[in-house]
């Protein structure tokens, strides 16, 4: 199973998000073609209500512990409540360019 699919399925099952987008950004980095090592996750879940950002990220890290231990090099997280998502009008900043080396 592809890493992107595993991430999506685990987050869906554990956090029941109202919005979830998992983007493979590996192509933006100095990695072999077809890599699945760098991801951007935008997730809106009621389970983030009342939690500070660090607690939200820890929750994601717990859900994806085995993936983080075995293949994911970078995980950009955008963890929002429904109210925060509405305020952003669905707009999440693009990931910055990679500074880790040239292709």
State pLDDT tens for residues 64-83: 999 988 877 778 899 999 99
Query: What's the topology of domain 3-88?
Result: GMP Synthetase; Chain A, domain 3 (3.30.300)
Residue 101 gets the label, from left (phi > 0), alpha (psi -120 to 50) or beta, of left
What confidence tier does 28 reach under pLDDT thresholds 50, 70, 90? low
Predicted pLDDT at 79 = 96
Please state, for a pLDDT cut of 90, what percent of the chain lies above it: 51
pTM: 0.82
- As a dihedral over the C-alpha atoms of residue 79, residue 85, residue 88, residue 92, rounded to 10 degrees, the angle is 40
Predicted pLDDT at 81 = 95
List the chain domain ranges.
3-88
């Amino acid at each position: 199973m592809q890493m992107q699919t595993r991430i999506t399925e685990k987050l869906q099952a554990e956090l029941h998000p109202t919005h979830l987008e998992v983007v493979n950004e590996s192509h933006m980095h100095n990695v072999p073609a077809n890599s699945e090592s760098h991801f951007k996750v935008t997730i809106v879940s009621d389970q983030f209500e009342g939690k500070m950002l660090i607690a939200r990220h820890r929750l994601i890290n717990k859900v994806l512990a085995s993936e983080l231990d075995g293949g994911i090099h970078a995980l950009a997280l955008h963890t929002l409540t429904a109210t925060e998502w509405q305020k952003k009008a669905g707009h999440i900043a693009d990931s910055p360019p990679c500074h880790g080396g040239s292709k």
